[in-house]
């Protein structure tokens, strides 16, 4: 919304994750990892973003309980988005983080294709999330903090959508290295 709150909230989350990883190794299995991240973000991140990420990660962990094959990751993304939609009340097109998440999820559906390769599909998901974040620049805000601000004052892309694209980009970069 232009007040810097989203950036401060995400920085607080990043510091909490760094401290957590330094203190003890995170769980190696996907479901416990996402569940632990959900708890951490709910406790340390704060704000509506912390709650939404917590909801997303908690729901995303469920399809990964039986393992982390590639189709399960696409299912996890869909489950997380559905939880955010159900409890947060926003939908794609509302100028929120869901715009980036939904675009990325569409690209991640390719993980359900036999022979899919993770890194190219994830790179496509990151590009889709970045494009969707940029597209929020011209959207009318239908939910979230931006919905309380005149659209004439909303000159930048939605900060939550930009943050989601950055997080996905960091995941891709981490997997590449």
The number of folded domains in the chain is: 1
**pLDDT (0 to 100) of residue 157:** 86
What mean pLDDT, rounded, does the chain reach? 90
Distance (Å, whole) CA 49 – CA 164: 11
Which range marks the domain in which residue 61 is found?
A: 5-176
**pLDDT (0 to 100) of residue 137:** 85
CB 160 within 8 A of CB 144: yes
Reported as a single tens digit per residue, the pLDDT across 79-91 is 999 999 999 888 8
Report helix, strand or coil for 1.
coil
Q: The domain that contains 125 carries what CATH number?
A: 1.25.40.340
Distance (Å, whole) CA 22 – CA 143: 36
Count of other CB atoms within 10 angstroms of residue 40? 20
| pTM: predicted TM-score of the whole model, two decimal places | 0.88
Q: Residue 64, exposed/middle/buried by CB under 10 A (0-12, 13-18, 19+)?
A: buried
**pLDDT (0 to 100) of residue 68:** 81
Distance (Å, whole) CA 123 – CA 160: 20
Reported as a single tens digit per residue, the pLDDT across 103-153 is 999 999 999 999 999 999 999 999 999 999 999 987 775 556 555 455 545
């Amino acid at each position: 919304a232009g007040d810097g709150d989203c950036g401060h909230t995400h920085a607080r989350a990043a510091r909490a994750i760094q401290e957590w990883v330094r203190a003890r190794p995170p769980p190696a299995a996907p479901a416990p990892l996402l569940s632990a991240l959900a708890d951490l973000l709910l406790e340390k991140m704060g704000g509506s973003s912390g709650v939404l990420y917590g909801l997303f990660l908690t729901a995303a962990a469920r399809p990964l309980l039986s393992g982390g094959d590639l189709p399960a990751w696409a299912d996890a993304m869909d489950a997380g988005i559905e939880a955010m939609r159900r409890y947060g009340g926003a939908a794609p097109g509302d100028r929120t983080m869901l715009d980036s998440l939904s675009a990325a999820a569409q690209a991640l559906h390719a993980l359900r294709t036999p022979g899919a390769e993770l890194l190219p599909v994830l790179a496509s998901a990151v590009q889709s999330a970045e494009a969707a974040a940029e597209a929020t620049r011209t959207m009318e805000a239908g939910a979230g903090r931006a919905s309380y601000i005149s659209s004439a004052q909303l000159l930048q892309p939605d900060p939550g959508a930009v943050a989601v694209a950055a997080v996905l980009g960091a995941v891709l970069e981490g997997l590449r290295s």
